[in-house]
Amino acid sequence: MSSPPLLPCCAPARRRARRAAPGLGLYWPRRAPPGGLCRAPGPLSSRLFPEPSPVPERARPKPPAPPLALLLLLLALALAGCAPAPGGEPWNSPYPPGLAGQRVILSAFAQRPKHLDPVRAYSANEYTFIAQIYEPPLQYHYLLRPYRLVPLTATGMPRVRLLDSAGRELPRDAPAERVAYSVYEIRIRPGIRYAPHPAFAKGPDGRYLYRGLGEAELEGVHTLADFPARGSRELVAADYVHQIKRLADPRLHSPIRGLMGEYIVGFRDFGRRLQALREAGQEPDLDALTLEGVELTGRYSYRIRIRGRYPQFRYWLAMPFFAPMPPEAEAFYGQPGMAERNLTLDWYPVGTGPFMLVENNPNRRMVLARNPYFHEERYPSEGMPGDRERGLLADAGRRLPLVDRVVFSLEKESIPYWNKFLQGYYDASGISSDAFDQAVRVGAGGEVSLTPELAAKGVRLATAVAPSTYYMGFNMLDPVVGGLGERARKLRQAISIAVDYEEYIAIFANGRGIPAQGPIPPGIFGHREGRAGINPYVYDWVDGRPRRKPLAVARRLLAEAGYPGGVDRATGRPLTLYLDVTATGPDDKARLDWYRKQFRKLGIQLVVRNTDYNRFQDKMRTGNAQIFLWGWNADYPDPENFLFLLYGPNGKVRHGGENAANYANPAFDRLFERMKAMEDGPARLALIDRMLDIARRDAPWVWGFHPKAFTLYHAWYRNAQPNLMANNTLKYIRVEPGRRVAAQRAWNRPVLWPLGLGAALLALALLPAWRLHRRRLRTPLKAPPAGSPGGSP
C-alpha cells in the first residue's frame, strides 16, 4: 500500500484540533519524524505515525501533554461562556430568567415580619406588607402636603355627630366640655371584593369546601397553595365591625387595645365578656355578641361611638387596625392542625387591597401579586407645585396598581443590599452610613447632591423630613435644671444655645436632619416656615435664614442664672450636670464626648451616667434622671400627637404618661385642652402659636432635630414620592422594565481580563516545564536487553 504524501506536520494538527474542540473529541499528533514532516491524515486506523524502531508495549511513552496554545484556547472559550449572550440575562443576576423584564418591583426585606394579622401588626416591616393587602376606610393622599386624609373604601369622609350626655346633637363648634360622645358614621363602596382565597371556596351545593377539615384532609398540606380551590365575596360593613371586635379580644393582644378602651364606648366591657365566656368553657361568636359603641346600620354602613371629642380618631381609621376582617378567614384558619402548619392570619393575610401575598418564605423571598378582583382606584390627578414638572402626575387617572408583582428578597446586611442596588438588581435604596460617601455630597451650606457616579447612572435622590423629633430633655422636677423659676429657665436657655445641633447633624447624621425650632416637624399642621417659625430664644433671623445665637449670649444667660463661667455663685463650686443614657455601641463614645464638649463651652462639667435600658426606664419613671436624650415618631400627622408630650397631666413621674420631661405649665395646659379637640384652621393655629411661645421660653427641651429621610431611585422607577405617613404606596409605582434590563446588562458585564492575565502568567510559569517535557519526548528510547521481560528471545 502506498503511503500518503508528506506535509508540514503542524498544519493538519491545528486543523484537526479546531475541528475536534467543539465536540471535545480531542486527539493529538504523535512526535514528528526527523525532518519536521509527518504523514497527512489517512483513515483512522493509519493516522498513528510509525515509530522509529519497534518498542515493547510496556516501554512506550505516554502521549504527550496537549499543546499549550490549545489549553489557552480552551480557557478563552470557558471565559467567554461567563459573558451573557446578546439579549440574555446578566451572568450574576439573582433572579429567575425574564423577571427583570416584567412589570415587577424588585425590593428587599431585612427581617421576617412577626405579625401579618392587622389586629397585632404595628411595626414598619410588617406594614410594608399588610398595608398593600388590607384596606381601612380611609387613607392618606399620596401627593398632597400637609398630609391629608381621603376615602379609600369609604364613599366619603366619615360624618361626625357630637352628642351631649342626654344624646342630644350638638353643633360642630360646641365646647369640648359639653361633648359627651362623638359618633362616626361610615359608608363603604359597594362592589369591592376580596382577593381569591380558599376560605371563600364553595362547592356546587353552596357549602364551603374547606370547613370541618381533619388531620386526614390536611395530610400533605404545607402552604396555602396546597388548597386548589379559591373563592371570593363582596366586602360588607359587617367585616369592619368584626375587626373592631377582634381589637377588643384580650386573647389577640392588640397593641392599641388599651388606648381604644379609653375611647370606644363598651370596648373594655366587650373584652371582659369574651374572657368570661372562655373561662366558662365557651368559645364566643364575635358576630353574635354586641359591642355597644360599634353598630351595623346597613349592608354597607356602620357607626362608631367614642367618648368625648377626639378628632384625631379619624387618623386611626387610616390604619390597618381598622381594616375589614371576613369571619370566613377566622373560621378557615381556626381549624385544628392549621396553626401547626403555619396556616394562620399571621402568615397568610386575607384582604381587598391591590396585592395579595402569594409567597411567604421569610428565609428567602416574599412575593406580592396583583389582586385580580381589586376594585377601581385611580392615580391622583392633583399634587403639590412642581409635581407635574417632576413627572409625578404623568399617570394621573390611570387605574391602580401599575405593576403586577412585588418581589422582596431577604437581605440582612446593608452592604450587599447597596451593591445590588448599584448593579440594578434593586429598584430603590436608602443610604446607610457605610455607603453615604458613595451616594451623596453635602455642600458647605448643607445642600445635598448625588455623587457623579450615581448621577451618571440616572439615579434620583428624594428627601423628606420625617414626622419625628429627637431632643435633649430636662427633668423639670430636678432641683437644679427643673422648675419654672427664672434661674433654672435661663440655665436651660443657655444650654439650648450652646448645644450646637447644626454641628451634630453634620457630624453624626451626615446632614440628614434639620434643627428643630419646636416640637412640631414640617408637614404637620402648626409648623411654620421662615421667620415666623424660628425659636427666638435660641436663634436670630439673619440674611433670610435662622442663625444660632452667639455663645456670648449663652454665657450671659448662664451668669444671670447664677453660674458665671460655669461656677455656682452661691457655693463657688463648678456646676456639674448629669446626662443619663443607655449608649453601649462603639460609635456612642464619640457622640457622648461631643455632648461633653458642648457643655464645656459654658464651663459646665457634664457627667454621663450610662445604664442598661431597664435601669434607665426606672430612672425616668421615678424622676431620678436629670438630663436625658429622647425621641418621638408620630402615630398620626396632627400637632396634638407632639404637643401632648408637654401636657402636664401626661407627666411620666406623676401620671405615667409620655411627657418624659414632666413639664407642667398651667397656661400651656389650658391652651392644649382647647386646641386638641379643634379642627385645623386659623383659630387652632393661633392657639398653637401661643403654646409654642410658652414652651420655647420655658425650654423644657433642647429642641434637637427632625431627621431627614434620603431615598435613592433608579431612573426606571417612576412616581416615587416619599410619604412618611402612608404605607400603602406600592400601588402608585410604575416601572419601565426595558430600561431596567438594559441597565442591568450594561452594569454587569463580566470583567474577564484579570482571568486572562492570570492564565497568561500561569502559562509563562509552566512554559519551562512544558519545554523540558517535550525535550524528554524527543530522547530515543532504548530497547530492553535480550532475555529481559518483554525483550527478544
Residues of the chain with pLDDT > 70, as a percent, come to 86
Give me 345's grid cell.
392570619
Instruction: Indicate if 518 and 645 belong to the same structural domain.
Output: yes
Taking the C-alpha atoms of residue 291 and residue 264, their distance in angstroms, rounded to an integer, is 9
Angular region, 634: left φ>0, alpha ψ -120 to 50, beta rest = beta
Pick from 435-444, 593-602, 738-747, 765-774: least confident: 765-774
Q: What is the pLDDT of residue 759?
A: 75
Average pLDDT over residues 584-608: 92
Q: Which helix (H) or strand (E) holds 261?
A: helix 257-263
Domain with residue 608: its CATH number is 3.10.105.10
Compute the average pLDDT of residues 635-654: 95
* Rounded-to-integer distance, Cα 436 and Cα 433, Å: 5
Which residue type, as a one-letter code, is found at position 23? G
Whether the predicted pLDDT of 404 surpasses 80:
yes
Q: For residue 595, give the C-alpha cell.
A: 455632648
Residue 660 covered by a domain = yes
Q: Are residues 243 and 280 in the same domain?
A: yes
Tell me, what's the pLDDT at 770? 73
Can you tell me the distance from the alpha carbon of 652 to that of 601, in angstroms, rounded to the nearest whole number?
31
Q: Same domain, yes or no, for 57 and 146?
A: no
Are 451 and 457 in contact, with CB atoms under 8 Å apart?
no
Q: Angle 234-237-243 (CA atoms, 0-180°, nearest 5)? A: 105
What is the rounded distance in angstroms from the CA atom of residue 762 to the CA atom of residue 482?
76
Q: Which residues contact 100 (CB under 8 A, 6 or more apart)?
A: 89, 93, 106, 425, 737, 740, 741, 744
DSSP calls for 659-685: BTT----HHHHHHHHHHTTSPSSHHHH
- Final residue of a structural domain among 356, 386, 410: 356
**CA dihedral of residues 204, 206, 210, 214 (deg, nearest 10):** -100
Q: Are 115 and 345 in contact (CB under 8 A)?
A: no
Contact, 716 vs 427, CB < 8 A? Answer: yes
Give the three-state DSSP class for 712. strand
SS (H, E, C) 451-500: CHHHHHCCCEEEEEECCEEEEEEECCCCCCCCCCCHHHHHHHHHHHHHCC
Measure CA of the first residue to CA of the last residue in the chain; give whole Å.
Answer: 31
Q: How many whole angstroms separate alpha carbon 418 and alpha carbon 116?
A: 27
The total of structural domains in the chain comes to 4
469, 501 Cβ separation under 8 angstroms: no
Residue 256: per-residue pLDDT? 93
Determine the angle formed by the axes of helices 666-675 and 682-698, rounding to 10 degrees: 160
Handedness of CA 71, 72, 77, 82 (dihedral sign): positive
Same domain, 384 and 290: no
Tell whether 191 and 238 lie within a shared domain. yes
User: Rounded to 5 degrees, what angle do the CA atoms 767, 773, 775 make?
Assistant: 105
For residues 293 and 263, state if they share a domain.
yes
Asked whether residue 372 is assigned to any structural domain, the reply reads: no
Does residue 789 form part of some domain?
Answer: no
CA dihedral of residues 556, 561, 562, 564 (deg, nearest 10):
-20
Place of cell 504524501: 5
What pLDDT score does 48 carry? Answer: 32
Average pLDDT, the chain: 88
Least confident of 170-184, 202-216, 249-263, 763-777: 763-777
**Residue 754, pLDDT score:** 74
Q: Is residue 486 part of a domain?
A: yes
Q: Is the peptide bond before 146 cis (omega within 30 degrees of 0)?
A: yes
The strand pairing partners of 304, in sequence order, are 184, 294
- Domain shared by 440 and 565, yes or no: no
Same domain, 420 and 326: no
Where are any strands of DSSP class E within 564-700? 576-581, 605-610, 627-633
Mean pLDDT of 764-793: 67
Distance CA 620, CA 601 (A): 27
Rg of the chain (C-alpha set): 37
Average pLDDT over residues 470-474: 98
Residues with Cβ < 8 Å from 770, sequence gap 6 or more? 65, 68
Contacts of 540 (CB under 8 A, 6+ apart): 546, 547, 549
Q: What is the dihedral of CA 285, 289, 295, 296, to 10 degrees?
A: 50
Where is pLDDT greater, at 83 or 178?
Answer: 178
- 401 preceded by cis ω (within 30°)? yes
The model's pLDDT over 510-562, given as tens digits with 9 standing for 90+, comes to: 889 999 999 999 989 999 999 999 999 999 999 999 999 999 999 999 999 99
pLDDT higher than 60, residue 2: no
Phi first, then psi: what are they for 109, rounded to 5°?
-140, 150
Report helix angle 501-508 to 588-600, nearest 10.
160
Phi and psi dihedrals of 555, rounded to 5? -70, -35
Residue 7 has pLDDT above 70, yes or no: no
Nearest-CA neighbor of 700 among 664, 653, 741?
Answer: 664
Q: How far apart are CA 371 and CA 135, in angstroms?
A: 13
Query: Are the C-beta atoms of 189 and 155 separated by less than 8 Å?
Result: yes
User: What average pLDDT does the segment 633-646 reach?
Assistant: 94
Going by C-beta distance under 8 Å and a sequence separation of 6 or more, which residues neighbour residue 369? 355, 356, 358, 404, 405
- The per-residue pLDDT for range 419-459, each reduced to its tens digit, is 999 999 999 999 988 899 899 988 776 678 999 999 999 99
| pLDDT exceeds cutoff 80 at 785 | no
Report the C-alpha gap between 731 and 727 in whole angstroms: 10
State how far the Cα of 286 lies from the Cα of 251, in Å rounded to an integer: 13
Same domain as 689, residue 597:
yes
Measure the CA–CA gap between 273 and 341, rounded to whole angstroms.
30
Residue 59 confidence (pLDDT) above 80: no
β-strand pairing of 104-109 with 405-410: parallel
Question: Average of pLDDT values for 462-489?
Answer: 96
Would you say residue 515 lies in a domain?
Answer: yes
Calculated CA dihedral for residues 99, 105, 107, 111, nearest 10 degrees: -100
pLDDT tens digits along 675-706: 998 989 999 999 999 999 999 999 999 999 99
What's the order of all strands across the beta sheet hosting 159-163? 169-170, 159-163, 181-187, 301-307, 294-298
Pairing type for strands 605-610 and 576-581 reads parallel
Instruction: Choose one of 293, 326, 356: the last residue of a domain.
Output: 356
Amino acid 752: pLDDT: 66
What mean pLDDT is predicted for residues 312-318?
96
pLDDT > 90 in the chain, percent:
75
Whether residue 662 contacts residue 476, with contact meaning beta carbons closer than 8 Å, is answered with yes
> Residue 524: CB partners within 8 Å, gap ≥ 6?
146, 147, 467, 634, 637, 638, 639, 641, 642
pLDDT of residue 236: 99
- What is the rounded CA–CA span in Å between residue 609 and residue 607? 6
Per-residue confidence band for 82, with pLDDT thresholds at 50, 70 and 90: low
Q: Which three cell numbers stand for residue 736?
A: 419601565
**Secondary structure (3-state) at 772:** helix
Does 659 have pLDDT greater than 80?
A: yes
The mean pLDDT value for 580-592 works out to 85
Work out the widest C-alpha separation in the chain, in whole angstroms.
Answer: 132
- Residue entry with cell 400637632: 639
* C-alpha–C-alpha distance, residues 180 and 310, integer Å: 11
The C-alpha torsion from 314 through 318 and 319 to 322, rounded to 10°, is 70
Q: Which domain holds residue 19?
A: 6-83+753-778
Identify whether residues 510 and 572 lie together within a single domain.
Answer: yes
Span 130-134, average pLDDT:
98
Q: Using CA atoms, how far apart are residues 611 and 641, in angstroms rounded to an integer?
A: 29
Asked if the structure places residue 103 within a domain, the reply is no
* pLDDT in the model for residue 16: 33
Q: How confident is the model at residue 75 (pLDDT cuts 50, 70, 90)?
A: low
CA angle 519, 520, 523 (to 5 degrees): 155
Q: What confidence tier does 776 reach under pLDDT thresholds 50, 70, 90?
A: confident
Q: Which of 74, 77, 70 is nearest to 28 (CA)?
A: 70
CA–CA separation, 618 and 628 (whole Å): 13
Q: Which residues are paired to 651 by β-bridges?
A: 659
The CATH number that applies at residue 222 is: 3.90.76.10
The b-or-e profile of 228-256 (16+ CB within 10 A means b, else e) is: eeebbeebbbbbbbbbbbbbbbeeeebeb
Residue 283 sits in the same domain as residue 187:
yes
Same domain, 294 and 187: yes
The verdict on residue 783 lying in a domain is no
What confidence score (pLDDT) does residue 351 get?
Answer: 98
How would you label 655-693 residue by residue, b for 16+ Cβ within 10 Å and e otherwise? eebebbbbbbbeebbebbeebbbbeeeeebeebbeebbe
Peptide bond into 54 cis (omega under 30): no
Residue 626 located in a structural domain:
yes
| Per-residue cell: 664 | 407642667
Torsion of CA 364, 199, 155, 526, to 10 degrees: -40
The 3-state DSSP class for residue 571 equals coil
